[in-house]
């Protein structure tokens, strides 16, 4: 049974196209529960569009759009990733043991994204219900137009944080170097403390929730204001 439950792919010998075709068409009925992907070597679009409860370990650095459109799977990258990891994630989880480039979890609807290192600019852009936890810092314009969900930053946040924020909530432990339009620092409630505690536990970080600051929307951009002359 063990042989049936585990599978290895070597991207040094096979293609990402072949891997993803197996994940889409053959995996759901295969009984395989764990997949190790070797030699990713910065290749793009690895393990995208998954729709099965499988554990996937990508053993090395990977490129753009890793784990995109994920549903049910738990994906771990043992290295760094490029742009748009976990783009449009629906459920399950995507964890990066290193750093991530721009647009982590872009438009994510559900599930959990964990970046153990730093994330670059626009982390959580247009997120629609997913949760993102970053162990390090995030770049400029993170949570830009974020509509729902939570972004937890254990380090610092660069300028433009939460620009045009809707109903998503941001929690930052370190320095906030500048808020975007319509974002504001708000008082932490007991519910906020519970939320941060739960997300930190899921992500595997041991920080005191009371050391985080809450950033929410001032809700001044919900309706067009002709008198604002496009200045907010």
Q: Which fold has domain 2-220?
A: Pectate Lyase C-like (2.160.20)
Looking at residue 1, what is its pLDDT? 39
In whole angstroms, give the CA distance from residue 93 to residue 196.
17
| Tens digit of each residue's pLDDT (9 = 90 or more) over 191-217 | 999 999 999 999 999 999 999 999 999
Backbone dihedral angles phi then psi of residue 72, each to the nearest 5 degrees: 80, -35
Residue-range domain boundaries for the chain? 2-220
* pTM for the predicted model, two decimal places: 0.95
Looking at residue 2, what is its pLDDT? 45
| Tens digit of each residue's pLDDT (9 = 90 or more) over 71-109 | 999 999 999 999 999 999 999 999 999 999 999 999 999
Strand 93-96: give its sheet, edge to edge.
6-10, 34-38, 55-59, 74-77, 93-96, 112-115, 128-134, 148-153, 169-172, 213-217, 183-186
Looking at residue 5, what is its pLDDT? 87
What parts of the chain have a pLDDT lower than 50?
1-3
* Residue whose token pair is 């937890």: 152
Looking at residue 231, what is its pLDDT? 66
In whole angstroms, give the CA distance from residue 135 to residue 21.
33
Q: DSSP label at 19?
A: H
């Amino acid at each position: 049974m063990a042989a049936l439950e585990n599978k290895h792919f070597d991207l040094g010998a096979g293609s990402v196209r072949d891997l993803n075709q197996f994940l889409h068409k053959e995996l759901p009925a295969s009984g395989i529960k764990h997949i190790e992907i070797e030699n990713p070597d910065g290749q793009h679009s690895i393990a995208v569009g998954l729709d099965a409860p499988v554990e996937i370990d990508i053993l090395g650095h990977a490129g753009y759009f890793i784990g995109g459109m994920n549903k049910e799977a738990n994906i771990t990258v043992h290295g760094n990733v490029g742009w748009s990891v976990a783009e449009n994630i629906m459920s399950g989880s995507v964890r990066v043991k290193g750093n991530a480039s721009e647009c982590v979890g872009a438009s994510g609807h559900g599930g959990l994204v964990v970046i153990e290192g730093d994330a670059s600019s626009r982390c959580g852009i247009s997120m629609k219900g997913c949760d993102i936890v970053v162990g390090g810092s995030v770049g400029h314009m993170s949570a830009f137009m974020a509509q729902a969900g939570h972004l937890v930053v254990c380090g610092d946040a660069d300028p433009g944080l939460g620009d045009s924020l809707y109903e998503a909530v941001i929690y930052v432990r370190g320095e906030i170097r500048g808020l975007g339009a319509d974002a504001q620092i708000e008082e932490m409630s007991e519910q906020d403390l519970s939320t941060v505690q739960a997300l930190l536990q899921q992500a595997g970080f041991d920080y005191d929730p009371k050391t985080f600051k809450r950033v929410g929307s001032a809700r001044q951009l919900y309706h067009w204001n002709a008198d604002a002359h496009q200045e907010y």
